[in-house]
Amino acid sequence: MVLDVLRLRAIVLGGRVRQPPFRDHVGFTDHWWGHTVRTDHDWLSLRSDDTEVARAKIMPGSHVGEYYGAIAPPQGWTEIDRLEVRGDLRLRGVGRAAVQAIAAEYPSTRLAALSEDADGFWSSLSWAAHRHRIDGPAYRTLFLSD
């Protein structure tokens, strides 16, 4: 499965976000996509046959990793800050295809993701897992692509 990537932008007027990148949230978690929006993130709509099947919030130049024993290169990692597959399409390979499409969008940097209850997903991509130096359930696992 190969997904197309559509980059979305917020409409900002007078320093305020007037329209967030994603307009409707049917099939997605509303509060992840509809409210506070930072304009220094990239907002990607992952699409198949012009239908949105997943969406992602990306932080280019992320330096996450300091507390994980993984030092980012000077230009940072490309962090997948949030990834969501449409609710009715999960566990069919869309998430894996979405990550492949994101990787193709950012070919010159490694990808990073802090897992939110999805360690099995990131592990299935053969990404390297890094535990927080305080190893406890409160700390998410950092995954880095090859």
Q: How many residues bind ligand COA (CB under 6 A)?
A: 18
Cα distance between residue 38 and residue 17, in whole Å: 9
Nearest residue to 71 via CA among 133, 6, 15, 118: 133
Other Cβ atoms less than 10 A from the Cβ of 55: the count is 26
Nearest approach, Cβ of residue 108 and ligand COA (Å): 23
Residue number with CB closer to ligand COA (56 or 72): 56
Binding mask 60-99 for ligand COA (x = CB under 6 A): -----------------------xxx----xxxxxxx---
Nearest approach, Cβ of residue 113 and ligand COA (Å): 6
Cα distance between residue 52 and residue 39, in whole Å: 21
Among 46, 102, 112, 113, the residue binding ligand COA under the rule CB under 6 A is 113
CA 44 to chain centre: 9
Helix (H, G, I), strand (E, B) or coil at 43: strand
> Which chain residues interact with ligand COA by CB under 6 A?
83-85, 90-96, 113, 115-118, 120-121, 124
